Amino acid sequence: MTPPGTPASPSESRAGGPSPAPASSGGTAADGAVPGGTASGGGVSGGTASRYARANTGPEAHRWQTFPDTPVVLALARTFTSAVRVLEALAVFRGDTRVRVLFAFDDTSAFNAGTETLLEGVEAGLIPWSDRLAVRPDLVVTATENADMAAFDCPVAVLPHGIGFQKYVPDHRTRQVRLSGVPRPEFHDADNIHLVLSHPAQREQLRAARIPLAEHAQVVGDPAHDRLVSGFRLRDHYRSRLGVRPDQRLVVTTSTWGPGGLLGSRPRLPGALLGALPHDDYRVAAVVHPNVWFAHSPWQVRHMLADALDAGLLLMPPEAGWGAALVSADCVIGDHGSVTLYGAALDHPMLLGALGAESVPGTAVSELVRTAPWLAKEGLRAQVEQAIDTHVPGQHREAADLAFAHKGRGGQRLTELLYRLLGVAPPEDAGHDGTQRALPQPEPDPSSGIPRAFEVHGWAEGAKEVVIERFPAAAREVPDPPQGAVRHLSVFESEKRHTLADSASVVCREPVRDPGSAGWLERALERHVGAFASAEPVPEGIAVLLRDGRRFLVRSEAGADPVLAAAVLYTAVRARLPLEASGEPRERGESFKVRTGSTRWECVIEPGPADPGVLGPQPDAQEIGALEP
C-alpha cells in the first residue's frame, strides 16, 4: 500500500503494481522551461496545494470525500496561459455532479509566476505536483505541450493554448526550432495522448512534420472563437463597461510575447496611438500576452506603459476581459499572435504592426499577412481611419477559414471528446455547457487611468463655428495643430504631473458636490501663475475666469466638461471671434456651434461681471474678445 503523498501510477493505484520514477520535465525554451529542471523536483509542494493533498491522495482519501466514487479529471498547469486555457476548457464539466476536477501545477517554467495565484483565486483543488499520480486520474487535461505526461496511462488531452501551430520556437535541448504547441519527441508515439485541434490543416501540418501524434489528434473547432462570435449580442454592453461611447471608436492593440511581437518591437505604440487619435473620437485598449506579464512582472508591464496608462490606455488584465474587449473593437492592431487572428475572424478592420520571424509559412497567420495592411510608424491617425473606413466585410475570411473548423460547434465537440476520453456519457443537454456562457466582463487593469491633462487644438470655421480636438498630454507624442489653429494645454487640478500642471494655460476644477464654492477660480489662478484662465462647473454651466479678471459663463445642453467649454472660449478669444453681438443686450451672450470629432453641439458664452484687482486689469466692454493670451 502506498503511503499518503507518495506518487503512484494509475496501474499501481488500481492494481497494486510499482510506480515508475517520474520522468524529467525537460521543458523547452518556448514554454519558458528552466534548463535542467525536473517535474519531480519542481511543482508546488506547499501552501494551497498541500491543503488538498490528504483528502485526495493516498489509500485513505475515500474516508474524507463526499463524492468518493466519481471519476477524476486532473488538470495540469505549467504557465499562466495554460492555466487560463484549461480553466476555460473545464467549463464542459460545469454543473455535472458526476465528475471531480483537481489541479496540479508544475512550476519549472520561466513563465510560472502568477499561475498558482490564479488557481488559488478560483479556489481550485490544487495538489502538489509530486502527488499528481496519487489522485488516480481517469483523464488528464492540459494546455501546455511541455507537461510531463510520461507516467500517465489514462487518456491525456492536450489543448491548444493559442490557435494551431503558428510559430517556430527554440528548443534548448536540440538547439534547433520546433513547432509551438507540439509535445516533446518522447511523447510522439504515445497512443493515449490526444492533441486537440481547431482545423484539419493542423493535422496535415503534423503529418508533414512526421509527428505520429497526428493520427490521434482530434479536430473539434475552437470554443474560444465561438464564444467571441456569440459575444456580439453583448457588444454594446461591453463597450459601455469599457467607457466607450456609441460615437467613439475603440482601437485594440494586441501583442504576443517575445522581441518580434508588437510590444517587443514597438513598445511605445500604445502611447503613440493615444497621442495621435483625438480623445473625444477614440479609445485605445491593449491586450498583452500573459508571458509578457509573467516573465517581466505585472509591475514592470505597468511601469513601461505608464505614460500610455496615464493617457487613458485600457490595459486588459491577463486572465480575463480580453475577449470582450476584442468583441468591442472597431479596429485591431496586432502581430502574429493568436488574439490578432481572433480579431480577423470577427471581421474587424485590421492593421499589422509587427510580424516575428518565427511565424510559420502556410498557416492562417501567413494568410492574414496577405490581406491585412501594415501599420507604418508615421501618420497613425490616417492609417487607422483608412483601415476602418475602407474595410470590406469578409476581407480576412480566408485566414479565418484556415484557422477554425466546425464554427459554432467547438464547445459541443470538445464536450463530446472529453466525456468520451473520460468514459462517461455526456449530459443529455450537451451543447448547453459552460463553454456557451457569455464572456467575462471587460474590467481594465486598475492602473488604467483617466487623462487629466490635454493638448487642445481649436480653430474657427466662420464667425459662429468652432472645432475642438484634444489629445492626452501624458502620451508625450501629440500632433501639430492644423494650419490656422490655436493650441493650449488644459489640465484638471488633480493632474499628478507637476510639469504639466505648471505649464497649463487653462486649469479646470473637477466636478464636486458643491459646485461654485466661492473663490476657487481666483485661487486657481493664484496657484498657477502662468495660466491664462481657470474653469469650474457651476449649476448653470461652466464658469471661466480669465487672467485679466473677465468672467464668462459657458452654457450647453450637451453638458460639456470644463476642458471643452474653456477650449471654446479660448479659441474664440485667440481667433478674435465676437463674444458680444453688436447692439444686443450684454446678458444674451453669443451662440456658437461646436464640433468635437463626430459630435456637434451648441453653446452660449455669456459675459459675466469682471473682477478688477490682483488678477490683472479689467478691460472695457468693447474689448471683449480682443485679448491675446
pLDDT tens digits, residue range 293-333?
A: 999 999 999 999 999 999 999 999 999 999 999 999 999 99
CA 161, 165, 168, 171 dihedral sign is: positive
In CATH, what number does 229-403 get?
Answer: 3.40.50.12580
Class of domain 25-219: alpha beta
Q: What is the DSSP code (8-state) at residue 558?
A: T
Cell representation of residue 138? 481517469
What is the percentage of the chain residues whose pLDDT exceeds 90? 62
Closest CA to 290 of 338, 353, 226: 338
Per-domain residue ranges of the chain? 25-219, 229-403, 453-623
491-540 pLDDT, tens digit per residue, is: 999 999 999 999 999 999 988 755 556 799 999 999 999 999 999 999 89
CA distance 428 to 190: 32
> Cell for 383?
492609417
* Residue-level pLDDT at 436: 83
Distance (Å, whole) CA 192 – CA 423: 13
CATH fold match for the domains 25-219 and 229-403: yes
CA distance 83 to 161: 9
DSSP 182: P
How far are the Cα atoms of 85, 436, 439 from residue 88, in angstroms, in the given order? 5, 11, 10
- The Cα 280–Cα 264 span in angstroms is 29
In this predicted model, what pLDDT tens digit does every residue of 344-394 receive, in sequence order? 999 999 999 998 877 777 888 888 988 999 999 999 999 999 999 999 999
- Asked if residue 314 lies in contact with residue 304, where contact means CB atoms within 8 angstroms, the answer is no
